A and B are shown apart, each in its own frame.
Chain A
Amino acid sequence: MSCLLDNLVQFARLLRSAGLAVPGGGTIDAARAAQLVGMRRRDDLRFALRSVLVRRPEDLEVFDQAFRKFFGAPSGTATKLDLRPLGAERRFGDPSVEMESLRSDGGGSESRGERTPETVRIATYSDREVLREKDFKALTGEETEQAVRLLRDLKWRPAPRKTKRWTPGNGVAPDPRKLLANIARRPLVPDLPPTRQRKFAPRRLILLCDISGSMERYTRMLLWFACCLSGTLARVEVFLFATRLTRITHKVSGRRAANPMREIAEIVPDWSGGTRIGAAIRTFNVDWARRVLGHGAVLMIVSDGWDRGDPKVLEQEVSRLQRSCHRLMWLSPLLGDPRYRPLTRGLQAALPYVDDFLPVHNLASIERLAERLNTLAAPVADRNRRTARGRRGFC
């Protein structure tokens, strides 16, 4: 038994190093489970340990591989195996690239960090005004850094959604439980009946960002926009697409991302490629929509609308997208130019289903976007209107 426990401790350690979140006390459970199912069938042991140690379907594959490696070879040799690449493979693709990028990234940002502080100037009011109105594609390197700093300071307070939960307070609905409790406490004192109201919760924001060749001059700034957004708000999902869809939420969420650009560049396979917006949105609809939409999510597609794919596919997918989210916004950097007209076939197909068609070409436009999000009303009645192909925002 103690030999088994030893092995299980080792095994749990290996799983952790492979990136699995092995629950605390998992080893003890594993030992009890192993004792219960016995050692006669290897698969029984595997299934038993799996139901105790694994909590996510994505981890099943890694677990099985680790199990084969650990319990397959004679003990003694098995434990020396380095299983970390298994976890890295699962999460980030090619593990060796990942390691390399971490190393070079650390060195690079350090040396840059030493150089930059001297050159930083505090932006004066007029500097900032100029910067606010300047198109992203015309920003110099220094201006970009300044702009990112301003972006970081931007206050995002998207309007929350009303949930179905009740909370005591100034509501319209009577609170029978509290009423009865009050009566029991003070039976002779007449009282205003206590009320309750619906609780509010933050909305989820989902960003689908086009990184194809035609967007190249904006991509960098827009990625910073995505990073700042998910850095300040809790429920933000970020996806990138050109020909394929890649989820980068885990790279940009929280404040830990010091230089997210490099990390993102490593995992995105189709950087600056051609665009197939319809196919990318289809992937989103099939694989992700049911998991990240719902609960009043606001979806933003950031793209110039240059599409090499079939406009019919795009139309079908965008219409589906609109039906499954609270609000569908299309943000285009080209809208900054007053002479611009959305005449590409792709945009023509998609726009009837878009709720808001807004520019993102400079800081001022992003501020306006933030304002728009902050004042999102709950357009319950609007939902019906939207199916009648009404669209707002673009005149």
Chain B
Amino acid sequence: MDDPGLGLGSIDQLQAKLAEQGYICDRALGTSAYLSLRLQRPLLLEGEAGVGKTAVGTALASALGRELIRLQCYEGLDIGHAVYEWDYRRQVLEIQLMGSRERADRQKAAGLLFRREFLLERPLLRAIEHPGPPPVLLIDELDRADVEFEGYLLELLSEFQVTIPELGTIRASDPPIVVITSNRTRELHDALKRRCLYCWIDYPDFEKELSIVEAKVPEARGALGEEATAFVQELRQAELYKTAGVSETLDWVAALVALDEGRLAPERIDETLGILLKNQDDIRAVRGDPVRAMLDRARHRGVRSSHAGKRPVWP
């Protein structure tokens, strides 16, 4: 099996390249991503919101030096917004410019109206037509799109070609690197899953989250990063409607840095809780005494882990 110009010999190399981009990934995700690159199969990432699914796509693109083409899914997303659309205004203009002789000749009229230059490219077509090395195509939050769109995507992902009735079929010379994410608000279709490599991204453990914080917010001084991470880990144990993801942790630590905090104080946590939790009921449930209890437990854990001297070594 040859390496399709990626310069990747092993999982370790890929992990190291991603780490250079500030994306810390564990072995499971590294293996899935590596295999998806080598086997040229789409990578399907599922997990709770804010665990860094989308970031895989962006990090992969910059690690491989490829362009990132992103398609954000939403309900009602159709071919016109995802693949291509005709530029109707220019077409109407063209009709007005046509002479009556051209208008009478149907073949000629169609040829004039449906010209390549009147075609507006949307992300999927752009990814397929992309000149040069294949780009990274990030299809974000596919679970938001409807089932009909998923069905269309199925065809696209197996053939990497788009058929435009008026123009013909456009095929990708090199298939793009596809990363699909889903928040699992609904189950994706089995047929689509079958074509992908699957990876479930969980909330990171303390060590991994700490190295993410250190990579992304290097300004966090002294024990702040460690304490904040340990606190978020504790917070995830509480029963909440929506718990804090990694992106919330990063925002929070950045906020604490901006407030020039050297250590975590319960009052400061209460004030900045809105960065971690985005639900008023959750904030009300946690604010005050529960925060203090969690902070105590978090400090305990921080002491434990520094005694053990167990700091992660990331390639």
Interface of A toward B, CB cutoff 8 Å: 21, 23-25, 29, 32-33, 35-37, 43-44, 47-48, 50-52, 54-55, 57, 60, 163-166, 176-177, 179-181, 183-188, 201, 285-286, 290-291, 294-295, 316, 320
Contacts and interface: CB of A to CB of B under 8 A. Distances in A.
Nearest to B92: A180
9 contacts: A29-B39, A37-B31, A48-B31, A55-B194, A57-B46, A180-B113, A184-B113, A185-B110, A187-B109
Contacts of A25: 194
Given A180-B86, A286-B240, A164 B76 contact: yes
Interface residues of B, number: 49
Contacts of B260: none
Given A48-B35, A164-B76, 14 more contacts: A23-B194, A36-B35, A37-B11, A37-B34, A44-B27, A47-B31, A51-B35, A55-B198, A179-B88, A183-B113, A185-B106, A188-B104, A285-B241, A286-B239
Contacts of A181: 166
B86 A54 contact: no
Contacts, number: 115
B197 interface: yes
B197 A51 contact: yes
A44 B198 contact: no
B238 to A, nearest CB: 11
Among B31, B104, B185, B200, max chain A CB count under 10 A is at B31
Contacts of B114: 180, 184
Contacts of B251: none
B204 to A, nearest CB: 16
Nearest to A180: B91
B106 A187 contact: yes
A186 B75 CA distance: 34
Nearest to A165: B76
B287 to A, nearest CB: 16
Contacts of B271: none
A21 B190 contact: yes
A51 B32 CA distance: 6
B39 A33 contact: yes
A180 B88 CA distance: 8
Contact of B193 (A55, A176, A316): A55
A185 B113 CA distance: 11
A395 B300 CA distance: 57
A291 B186 contact: yes
B184 interface: yes
Contacts of B80: 177
B190 A32 contact: no
Nearest to A283: B239
Contacts of A57: 46, 184, 200
Contacts of B194: 23-25, 55
Contacts of B1: 32, 35-36
Nearest to B29: A47
B146 interface: yes
B236 to A, nearest CB: 13
Contact of B241 (A21, A185, A286): A286
Contacts of A185: 106, 110
Contacts of B198: 50-52, 54-55
B106 A184 contact: yes
Interface string B76-117: 101010000110100110010000000110100110011000
